[in-house]
């Protein structure tokens, strides 16, 4: 097969065609899941059924029907389907695809150019489509598992509507599997396979929302069984290395660490533990999580419970000493403690306000009475002359003293909350400010 044939060939109908490809739906009503896009009266369904072609981006996890839906759009709209894989193709292949579309256009036929894994094209490759999308030579359909906002350039996004496909539910995957087991023409109906409901549900679970994976596993199971019976042991054997979706750098990574952080902030220890284990199970570096947990301790707990930061640092230290998996239990301990601890973002807010003032007041000079005076000249200039040594003052506090630059007003960045240790801190600061007030200090 030539490169062009490989790029533009339609679905292979040979006896070696995988079950997932043989069972590809041909009609909208055959698609299981994606009701939010293809249900009655939904805009995308109406566009397809009314032959209203428009360029679009299909964004969703693997095995959710992006390629199937793209081929179906071409069939419904009687358009030529030209397929490219961004993994294998370059600008030359894009040019050849466009030339082919121009030939179809001359014959009065519309063309759909489907690009799988479109996020793998760089900016210049993505730009190559723009003039032909603009003048109507092609209707562009891009399929991606990555967030288009991050991976596709704005010019292409402005010319295509984004549709989000969702993971297939276990119930829907079970329905897809049952259909494949019953179909005698394209499925496994001629093999007289037997599988109980519990094993079928297990297969749906290990598929992890990926219909293609579910069908591939079913086909493998059917080839391995000696007695036409597929049971839990068979499924466990073929899915022993099953790994949940996690990419260590893409959107799933940031979504899951966000879920972990927000669960800790929301005082939901069980949910926090779930997301921690989910990330570790997916292959996330435990030391990365440890760094983020340290951040959570300061950002969301702070001085309401200073032990949280200590425990987070200790968990990090244990991880570095013991490695994985032994050190992961210490990380779980820290996450559960942080999620259960009193919450305060007072330190976080105070830090951000101080940063804003540093930018506003730029290089405000240190007041003379706070300056260091290591030399005779500095002492003659009055550096540190009027400084009040706190330990020599009543209650070791120089009431009324100012420590901010003379060019900016006094600030109260730190506002402790009424939770945890900060209750006591708030009382102490209020007492000291009352002393300042009695000493005649303004602010």
| Sequence spans of domains, the chain | 3-164, 170-238, 251-340, 364-438
Is 82 in contact with 112 (CB distance < 8 Å)? yes
- The structural architecture, per CATH, of the domain 251-340 is Up-down Bundle (1.20)
Cβ neighbors of 108 (< 8 A, separation 6 or more) are: none
Question: Do the two domains 170-238 and 251-340 of this chain adopt the same fold?
Answer: no
What pLDDT, on the 0 to 100 scale, is given for residue 224? 85
What stretch of H or E contains 211? helix 211-224
Q: Chunked in runs of 10, what are the mean pLDDT values of the chain (443 residues)?
A: 42 68 90 91 91 92 93 92 92 92 93 94 91 93 91 92 93 93 90 90 88 92 88 82 55 85 96 94 89 96 97 96 91 97 96 92 88 87 89 92 90 94 94 90 67
The verdict on domain 170-238 having CATH code 1.10.150.130 is no
Burial status of residue 330 (CB atoms within 10 A of its CB: 0-12, 13-18, 19 or more)? buried
3-state secondary structure of 31: coil
Q: Quick one: fold of 3-164?
A: Rossmann fold (3.40.50)
Q: Which of 132, 59, 55 is nearest to 91 (CA)?
A: 132
Is 216 in contact with 20 (CB distance < 8 Å)? yes
Q: Quick one: fold of 364-438?
A: post-AAA+ oligomerization domain-like (1.10.3710)
3-state secondary structure of 84: strand
Handedness of CA 388, 394, 396, 400 (dihedral sign): negative
Q: Which of 279, 278, 316 is nearest to 296 (CA)?
A: 316
What pLDDT, on the 0 to 100 scale, is given for residue 435? 93
What stretch of H or E contains 172? helix 170-182
Handedness of CA 31, 32, 34, 36 (dihedral sign): positive
Is 239 in contact with 231 (CB distance < 8 Å)? no
């Amino acid at each position: 097969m030539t490169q062009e044939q490989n790029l533009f060939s339609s679905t292979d109908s040979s006896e070696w065609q995988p079950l997932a490809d043989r069972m590809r739906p041909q009609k909208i009503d055959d698609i299981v899941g994606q009701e939010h896009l293809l249900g009655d009266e939904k805009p995308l369904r109406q566009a397809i059924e009314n032959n209203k072609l428009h360029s679009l981006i299909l964004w969703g996890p693997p095995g959710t029907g992006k390629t199937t839906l793209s081929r179906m759009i071409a069939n419904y709209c009687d358009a030529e389907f030209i397929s490219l894989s961004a993994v294998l193709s370059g600008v030359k292949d894009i040019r050849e695809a466009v030339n082919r579309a121009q030939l179809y256009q001359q014959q009065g036929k519309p063309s759909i150019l489907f690009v799988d894994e479109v996020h793998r094209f760089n900016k210049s490759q993505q730009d190559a489509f723009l003039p032909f999308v603009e003048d109507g030579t092609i209707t562009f359909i891009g399929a991606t598992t990555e967030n288009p906002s991050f991976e596709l350039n704005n010019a292409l996004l402005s010319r295509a509507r984004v549709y989000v496909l969702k993971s297939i539910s276990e119930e829907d995957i079970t329905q897809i599997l049952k259909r494949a087991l019953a179909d005698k023409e394209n499925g496994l109906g001629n093999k007289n396979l037997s599988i109980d409901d519990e094993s079928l549900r297990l297969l749906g679970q290990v598929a992890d929302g990926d219909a293609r994976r579910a069908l591939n596993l079913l086909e493998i199971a059917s080839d391995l069984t000696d007695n036409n019976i597929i049971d839990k042991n068979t499924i466990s054997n073929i899915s022993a290395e099953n790994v949940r979706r996690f990419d260590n750098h893409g959107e799933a990574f940031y979504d899951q660490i966000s879920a972990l952080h927000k669960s800790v902030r929301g005082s939901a220890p069980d949910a926090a533990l779930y997301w921690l284990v989910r990330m570790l199970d997916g292959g996330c570096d435990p030391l990365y999580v440890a760094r983020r947990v340290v951040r959570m301790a300061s950002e969301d707990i702070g001085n309401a419970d200073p032990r949280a930061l200590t425990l987070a640092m200790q968990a990090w230290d244990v991880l570095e000493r013991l490695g994985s998996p032994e050190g992961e239990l210490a990380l779980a301990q820290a996450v559960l403690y942080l999620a259960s601890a009193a919450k305060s973002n007072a330190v976080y807010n105070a830090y951000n306000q101080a940063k804003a003032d540093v930018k506003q007041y730029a290089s405000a000079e240190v007041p003379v009475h706070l300056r260091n005076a290591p030399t005779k000249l500095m002492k003659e200039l009055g550096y540190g002359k009027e400084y009040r040594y706190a330990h020599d003052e009543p209650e070791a506090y120089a009431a009324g003293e100012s420590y901010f630059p003379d060019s900016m007003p006094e600030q109260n960045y730190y506002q402790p909350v009424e939770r945890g240790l900060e209750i006591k801190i708030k009382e102490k600061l209020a007492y000291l400010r009352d002393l300042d007030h009695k000493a005649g200090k303004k602010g």
